Amino acid sequence: MTIAATTDRNDVLPTAAMSETAPPRVAIEVVRPVVDQGRFAAKASVAEPVTVVADVFADGHERLAAAATFRQSVTGTEVTVPLVAVGNDRWSAQAVLDEVGPWTFTVVGWIDPWEYWRHSILARHEAGLDISVELGDGLGLLERAGQAGDPVERLRGADVSVALDDNLAATMASWASTLDGLAVSAAYPLHVARARAAHGAWYELFPRSLADGGETANPDTRSHGTLVDLVDRLDYVADLGFQVLYLPPIHPIGLTARKGPENSLVAGPHDPGSPWAIGGSAGGHTAIHPDLGTFGDFDRVVARADELGLEIALDLAFQCAPEHPWVTEHPDWFAHRSDGSIRTAENPPKRYEDIYPIDFTTDDWQALWAELANVVRCWVSHGVRIFRVDNPHTKPFAFWEWMIAEIRSETPDVIFLAEAFTRPRVAERLGKLGFDQSYGYFTWKREAWELTEYFGDMSKRTLDYLRTNVWPNTPDILTDQLQSGGRAMFEARLILASMISANWGVYGPAYELGESAAVRTPGEDYARSEKYEVRHWELTHPDSLAPLMRRLNIIRSHHPALHTDQYRVLHPCDDPGLFCFSKQNHDRSDTVIVIVNVAADMHRSGLVHLNLEALGLEADQPFDVEDLLADATYHWQGSDNYVSLDPHGPIAHILRVVR
């Protein structure tokens, strides 16, 4: 920048060097979906259109045109869609991207002189004013654009209807986009995942608890389930309507400091230990526990799951038992105390004496990181495409960004779920770094106001980079509301989890069988936890919630509105024990309204105040809602409608709006 001196003024004005071509008059601002100014890729999937929004405007009264161009970074595929003005200088469009992998997109804007001419001549013609000059202006534009034939002849004949020709307008808009003055945004990154990253139902079980045997059998003689037993259990999981079966670690388990029942520090000779204490004489992260079976058995599990429409998700827990081969082969991969001993894992007040955490900052970090990526490659080679990552927030951000990109460069359809029970900003950062999904705080959000605050904030801030997978329970988390709330609470949380999120999961069979006993109160640890002992479950118990699980997953599969969180809207209720939300798909062809008695303690009733504009409903028009749980139809009108829900009757309504 230079300063121009003046002799007749007391001030000085900065001047900038002029470019050889005229600068664009169009401005492009507030582009979405963009994460941290393009530092990270926004999330998308082949399951739903990508919605691009931008402010596009210029000085003066000219008419503008805009478009978004998407480019697949590997194959070079390009998709261009015109943006439509939606008011107040905001433009929007949706694009279907059907290739998994990295993309970029740009927004372009330009002045469209033909569109301005159309508006001008039609306005003057309708007002009865002279349009001879405008006719000449239009001919000049057609000639500049290389148009000839019919439109030119009609305009020469003063045929104003040429201005109504939308096909000609589209052709002229394309021509205008080639003129000088085109404004182009930065190229913003976008990761397009496969459909399962966008929506799915997960079921977690421990394979070692699948052998035949009674729950009252002597723990010392209780049989250990195998992967062959798991093949037989797959039909049960598929029949419940789940798409993903998540398995805790299936690797050898260490003996040193092995945990006994209920996390006791002393294990008996027959106690199996925690699956997260990975490593033993049979190997580490690329080995299978000998009592579970072989890789041949595992391949049978994957093949049978594929036949049933299931995917196998494996736990990725980067930590080691003292017997893990890495401990002796690479002792420098672990942090040592001042006395030379290796530091054990802890999450105060919890301590995990049977686990050594990996030191990701070791001087040999490059070899360590490469070996950890090889662990993922091993399981990918056996058909695994989904990984649930244990405690990713305790490992460096830089490692996950590198590792996820490395794996995706080879196998683009791999999905990573973060067990990120941590501070919000940390969990969000993991989503930005590449994790497709993340556990969230739903498990502890119980009151209607808490749910409203949590999901309302999520809808506003994080949907471009964080997909939440909600779980009412996990092997680590038995909330006090499930401990004391009875069957009604189990039903309410099940309905809420499966309906409010496109991705949800449940730890079973503990959930469908209403397992509610805790080791101690207060506390969230299960009594007789499967983390430390083999259990057997009576799946045919008459009080099982399995039929409700099945029905909820069927509802999910039939309603595309439940496959996305992009169009979730919360609606207030009079009764603080009622919680209401709606979900729609991108074209509003499917609308589902859910009302749950989240207190599940007593009869709750009151008015639900619907946001009719968000639902695309008219205030003065009646409409029907079909209850998908009760096979009933209700006639509603306006925003305020009465609801009554009882723990001893229907605990929730799942309502399809009949258009």
Question: Mind telling me the catalytic residues?
Answer: 390, 419
Q: Per the structure block, which two tokens stand in for 356?
A: 């050594």
Counting Cα atoms < 13 Å in the Cβ hemisphere of 252 gives: 20
Beta bridge partners, 625, equal: 634, 657
- Shortest CA distance to 475 belongs to which of 248, 270, 233? 248
Residue 587 CB burial class (10 angstroms; 0-12, 13-18, ≥19): exposed
The whole-angstrom separation of Cα 300 and Cα 227 is 8
Q: Are 576 and 475 in contact (CB under 8 A)?
A: no
Q: Sign of torsion, CA 350 352 353 356?
A: negative
Give the integer Cα–Cα distance in Å for 72 and 433: 19
- Is residue 367 classed as helix, strand or coil in its secondary structure? helix
Task: Look at residues 421, 529, 408 and name the one whose alpha carbon lies nearest to residue 468.
Answer: 421
**H/E stretch holding 579:** strand 578-584
State the Cα–Cα distance between residues 123 and 114, nearest whole angstrom.
Answer: 14
DSSP for 290-324 reads TTT--HHHHHHHHHHHHHTT-EEEEEE--EE-TTS
Number of Cβ atoms within 10 Å of the Cβ of 127: 8
Q: How far is CA 237 from the centre of its chain?
A: 22
Residues 488, 600 contacting (CB under 8 angstroms) = yes
Which pair of tokens denotes residue 312?
A: 């196998």
- Closest by Cα among 68, 40, 170, 67 to 118: 170
Separation between Cα atoms, residue 94 and residue 81, nearest integer Å: 7
Judged by phi (left if over 0) then psi (alpha if -120 to 50, else beta), residue 339 lies in: alpha
CB 474 within 8 A of CB 511: no
